Amino acid sequence: MIYINFEFRKGIFFIRLIGELNKETSQTAIDEINTLIANNKFTYVVINTNYLNIIDLTGINYLTKICYLAKEQKSNLVICDKTNIIKTLLNNNVPNIKDELEVL
């Protein structure tokens, strides 16, 4: 199960992914987040993956799709990942921070 927490603060759109991002849960997350990013002109989008318990290849592909969508919308994407695993899996193409407060 995936729980997605959204917050818009100081011009930054925060997406907090909590739980499991896998084949069963990613489609719901993709639809919801893609709609929000596509319909709004966010300057910055921060995806916090610190609360993910499980992520599989489908989840990684999902994060890659968000990266492309953010670039298409001319948004600056930042991944919040304490372990740097997500950054490594995305080939270091996205800026990475350990705590989302760093972006403020």
Q: What is the tens place of the pLDDT at every residue in 87-96? A: 777 766 777 7
What does the buried/exposed string (b/e) look like for 8-27 if buried means 16 or more CB atoms within 10 Å of the residue's CB? Answer: eeeebbbbbbbebbbeebbe
Average pLDDT over residues 39-48: 90
Whole-angstrom distance, CA of residue 13 vs CA of residue 34 = 13
> 84-89: which pairs have CB atoms within 8 A and are 24 or more residues apart?
86/49, 86/55, 86/60, 89/60
> What's the pLDDT score for residue 5?
93
Q: Residue 60's pLDDT band (boundaries 50, 70, 90)?
A: confident
* Other C-beta atoms lying within 10 Å of the C-beta of residue 93: 11
Q: How far is CA 81 from the centre of its chain?
A: 10
Give the CATH superfamily of 2-103.
STAS domain (3.30.750.24)
Whether residue 68 contacts residue 76, with contact meaning beta carbons closer than 8 Å, is answered with no
Is residue 15 pLDDT above 90, yes or no?
Answer: yes
